[in-house]
Amino acid sequence: MTPPFRVAIAGLGTVGGGTVALLARNADRIAERCGKRVEIAAVSARNATKARTLPLNGATFVDDATALADIPGIDAIVEVIGGAEGVARALVEKALRRGVSVVTANKALIAHHGLELAGAAEASGATLAFEAAVAGGIPVIKSLRDGLSANRFRRITGILNGTCNYILTRMRQEHKSFDEVLEEAQALGYAEAEPSFDVDGIDTAHKTAILASLAFGCAPAIDRVHVEGIRRVTLRDMEAAEELGYRIKLLGIAELMDEALAQRVHPCMVPIASPLANVHDVYNAVAIEGDAVGKVFFEGRGAGAGPTASSIVADIMDIARGAVYNAFTLPVASLKRPRFAAMAGLRTAYYVRLEVTDRAGVLADVTGIFRDCGISVQTFLQHSHQPDENVQLVLTTHETTEESMLHASRRIESLPTVSEQPYLIRIEPL
């Protein structure tokens, strides 16, 4: 009889619990496809005494998660603790050094320490797998590593954070403010009590850096990702976007600009006809452009127990079948050190929202600054307002450089008739 494939799971929260449940529910199917049964041999969780209904079937409970790597006969460790440092990092490093393969959903850990972890796996002959770290149940990492690996990639664009996509969707559909929808998302469990990791773009930046590393053959470079969140997006912006034929999405983008790698996360105006514009609520989506395949589009649930467990168990099954592969497709020594594109060189069109005093000559002053900076205005919107109130002006420009746009924005902000910093949203011609 073929011996079972023995796994240890660190973390029994939503994702860890979902992984246990999926391994039990589909045990026969999983065994049929990887040639051996997957057995949960040990687990670790923060609260050992918490009542759980999970089918753990006598698995050993270990208080110290790092001790899972010491258990004889463990074939792989599943790390779903989270966080770039602390216990999660210590466990993964220890396991890989000892030749025990690791499956993780921890995007922060991979984005910050993926290079050294990949090196440790390579040195010991273990596998480091992290399909669940990006886009939940969407198999985008396997697609980049395997199915699309013959391509030279041009660009990857993704809606990679379900919390932000939910907030932007509800703002548009229900005509509510950012703060109102954020509060609702927290009540529903879609947003954390402290939501900065999501709404400030950090989570999307981690995932963007991981996708860029796989597509462009380099180590993750989280410190070279330009990051903006969605806090400044207003209901007025959502309404103006619709009027102009766009929807606002927080996108993670990795692309080559003049052979330099550009990585950026920020709100974008996306044409309504684009598939990305029609990805709603907590769903994620990834669009990949390759020289041979052209454009490929993936959409699905980007978080939650079931979708994330689906990706984790797929990685477990790969390792159970004997798969040993380089974490970032290439051996660590072969990963490139790319030239990174400066954000100032980005060329795109812009949406600009201004709050100004309702006074003659204001628009002329603004358009005069754009003219002096070599920027051509394409459209102009102004809605009715109450007397004695400031006026919100909305402009869109033709394509220009980020450098020129920021220079113009600083000059506009200094005008005595402008009451707050202009808000810019880049228009992506997807």
- CA dist., res. 65 & res. 94, Å (int): 11
- CA dist., res. 188 & res. 308, Å (int): 19
Phi and psi (nearest 5°) for 272? -55, -30
Among residues 125, 93, 95, 98, the alpha carbon closest in space to that of 112 is found at: 93
Classify strands 400-401 and 347-356 as parallel, antiparallel or unpaired.
antiparallel
Give SS3 for 265. strand
Q: Is 245 left (phi over 0), alpha (psi -120 to 50) or beta?
A: left
Q: C-alpha dihedral over 134, 135, 141, 142, to 10 degrees?
A: 140
Tokens of 51: 């009542």
Write the DSSP assignment of 133-200 as a string of letters. GSSTT--HHHIIIIITTTSPEEEEEEE--HHHHHHHHHHHHHT--HHHHHHHHHHHTSS-SS-HHHHT
21 to 101, 129, 300, 315, 423: CA distances (angstroms): 21, 20, 20, 16, 46
Among the listed residues 36, 94, 107, 207, the single catalytic one is: 207
- CA dist., res. 93 & res. 95, Å (int): 6
Give SS3 for 24. helix
- CA dist., res. 233 & res. 178, Å (int): 7
Helices 305-320, 14-25: crossing angle, 10 deg rounding: 60
Write the DSSP assignment of 48-69 as a string of letters. TTS------TTPEE-SSGGGGG
Active site residue 36: no
205 to 158, 159, 225, 227, 243: CA distances (angstroms): 11, 11, 6, 7, 29
Contact 44, 68 (CB under 8 A): yes
Write the DSSP assignment of 272-303 as a string of letters. TTSGGGG--TTEEEEEEEETTTEEEEEEEE-S
Catalytic positions: 207
